[in-house]
Amino acid sequence: MRPTDCLDGPRLARCLWLAILLSASPLASADAPQWMTLPQAPGQDGVQVALTKAEGGSPRSPVVVFLHGSCGTEPYQLGSFEQWSRWFAARGIATLLVDSYRGRGLDGSLVCRTDASPGWLGKRADDAARAIDWVLTTDWVDVDRVLVFGESQGGRSALALAFRSKRRYPTVGMYINCPQDYWKTHDAMSDFPPSLVILGELDALAPPERCRTFLSELRAKGGNADAISLVVMPGAYHAFDFPGISGRFSIGRVEYSGAATEASRKEVGAFLARLGWSSR
């Protein structure tokens, strides 16, 4: 992309979003992710993951498979992951961050510029499935307690996994842009997994009304829309749990909110309780 490419409307939005991300300095942390490459069959793309083990020394722990947003594991996203992983670890739950770009030799900031979400959703759902397949072979995971957690495009990818997989894993989606008119061209699902969708009231990138429409259309076709809990955080914008982020551009605003982040933790904790996962 040339500098002059940032002068048109759609690209301007992406360039300004990218500028916000690249202006960040990485958060210093003793718990910085340690990356490993998943086993791959001939012809498969490389996928890297970073594991945070649970606290407490339990021989087998639940695991959350964490999917990043469209710009990859940039500093703000890593800040969000580190805070969530510590929160889960303190509750005896491991986290596995799946990086769909790093193992393919791609720069997430460049993928972010292309706005290529539709083409990536299927790939990223497959990456999540590979990560789950791998983690289920380990001797430390509770195979009956696996949850998929995605932010922004990662949340859409988690939905895509639910659409594509015969296995139904509970899902948490943060500020996701729900697909439009999906149920007009697809059969309604009667076995949608228990899911929690958390949105920002003022999020112009992922407007809550789109998810309300998604659920109402699923319900109208006889699907089990009640399996999906929708929670809207008052006064919150996109990426509200990215520590320190703040910026405005032509299609919306991103801004950290400590209040919305804390409230989302409580919602996730309640969701885990409904799933029957013990919480400390």
Q: Work out the average pLDDT over 245-261.
A: 88
Tokens at residue 20, please? 């916000």
Give the model confidence (pLDDT) of 134-150 as tens digits. Answer: 999 999 999 999 999 99
Give the model confidence (pLDDT) of 195-227 as tens digits. Answer: 999 999 999 999 999 999 999 999 999 999 999
**Residue 33 near residue 81 (C-beta atoms within 8 A):** yes
What pLDDT score was predicted for residue 279? 53
Banded model confidence at residue 251, pLDDT cuts 50, 70, 90: low
CA–CA gap between residue 110 and residue 112 (Å, rounded): 5
**Residue 62 near residue 95 (C-beta atoms within 8 A):** no
What pLDDT score was predicted for residue 56? 83
Q: pTM of this prediction?
A: 0.86
Q: Is the pLDDT of residue 114 over 80?
A: no
CA–CA gap between residue 209 and residue 89 (Å, rounded): 33
26/120: higher pLDDT: 120
CA–CA gap between residue 230 and residue 195 (Å, rounded): 9
Q: Name 46's Cβ contacts closer than 8 Å, sequence gap at least 6.
A: 37, 38, 40, 103, 104, 105
Tokens at residue 253, please? 């605003």
Banded model confidence at residue 118, pLDDT cuts 50, 70, 90: low
The residue type found at 270 is A
Sheet of 228-233, strand order = 35-37, 48-52, 94-99, 61-67, 141-151, 171-174, 195-200, 228-233
C-alpha angle 222-227-229 in degrees, rounded to nearest 5: 120
CA–CA gap between residue 157 and residue 211 (Å, rounded): 15
Which of these ranges, 115-119, 173-177, 229-233, has the smallest mean pLDDT?
115-119
Cβ burial 181-206 (10 Å sphere, 16+ → b, else e): eebeeeebbeebbbbbbbbbebbebb
Give the model confidence (pLDDT) of 53-99 as tens digits. Answer: 998 877 899 999 999 998 899 899 999 999 999 999 999 999 999 99
118/124: higher pLDDT: 124
What pLDDT score was predicted for residue 100? 93
